[in-house]
Amino acid sequence: MRKGELTRAAILDVALELASREGLEGLTIGLLADKMNMSKSGVFAHFGSREDLQMEVLKLYHHRFEQEVFFPSVKESRGIPRLQAMYARWIKRVSVEIASGCIYISGAVEYDDRPGPIREELVAMVRAWQGALLRCVQQCIDAGQLQPDTDAQQMVYEMYGLILALHHDARFLRRPGSVDRAKLGFDRLLENYRNTSQVSVSLEG
């Protein structure tokens, strides 16, 4: 990478850290310039506006989420093993973010009623992840691993609810054991939807 690209990457790293703690709306060129020991004009040279900076931070966050959670998980066998891997890696990432904050979650609070390109980008990213979960659940149903009448959207909704509860209890309430509860919640959810008829048939045989 050239010097300019390295500087831009370094600015984005710091910007992502700030946005995780302060929120995307708390991210300003001035604050970032102070953290980088740069002038505001120096930061502006890499990002034309505050909105451009926020957008790039969102894209970087989403890219890292995919690299840490999605892509390693799809290497697992299709069906329940893949779904378990997706949730486990999701939990692991949220556990790390308890100290800093999740931009998907904080962004939803900041932009729930604030129209514009940042909200649109954020919504698209969250929907992309939910879509990946939905496809994985549907594959479990198609493979006969989950009950045939399983409502895939409902199951994804419940999975997302566990993550939101984890973030709330661990980050806001500082409640010990929240990660274990989120793991237990998923295990119970999976068992509730699991198709046990195939297991019974194989045992009888």
Among candidate residues 7, 136, 17, 117, the one with its CA nearest the CA of residue 69: 136
Q: Judge whether 43 lies within some domain.
A: no
pLDDT attached to residue 197? 82
- Residue 136 in any domain: the answer is yes
The answer to whether position 20 is within a domain reads no
Whether 37 is in a domain gets the answer no
Per the structure, how many domains does the chain have? 1
Start-to-end Cα distance in the chain: 61
Contact (CB, 8 A) for 32 and 11 = yes
Q: For residue 131, is it within any domain?
A: yes
Query: In the structure encoding, which two tokens stand for residue 165, read together?
Result: 């509860």
Instruction: Give me the CATH number covering residue 66.
Output: 1.10.357.10
> Where in the sequence is the domain holding 142, given as residue range(s)?
55-196
Q: Please choose, from the candidates 155, 193, 126, 3, the residue with its C-alpha nearest in 3D space to the C-alpha of residue 11.
A: 3
Q: Is 18 within a domain? A: no
Q: What is the pLDDT along the chain (205 residues), one digit of tens a residue?
A: 588 789 999 999 999 999 998 899 999 888 899 999 999 888 888 888 889 999 999 999 999 999 999 999 999 999 999 999 999 999 999 999 988 889 999 999 999 999 999 999 999 999 999 999 999 999 999 999 999 999 999 999 999 999 999 999 999 999 999 999 999 999 999 999 999 886 544 444 3
Q: How confident is the model at residue 198, as a pLDDT?
A: 64
- Give the separation between CA 34 and CA 40, rounded to whole angstroms: 8
Q: Which of 17, 23, 31, 21 is nearest to 111 (CA)?
A: 23
Q: Distance between CA atoms of 81 and 195, rounded to whole angstroms? A: 14
Question: Could you say which DSSP state residue 142 is in?
Answer: H
The interaxial angle of helices 3-22 and 29-36, nearest 10 deg, is 120
Closest to 58 (Cα-Cα) out of 134, 142, 117: 117
Q: What is the pLDDT, as a whole number, of residue 5?
A: 87
Evaluate whether residue 166 is within a structural domain: yes
| Position 174 in a domain | yes
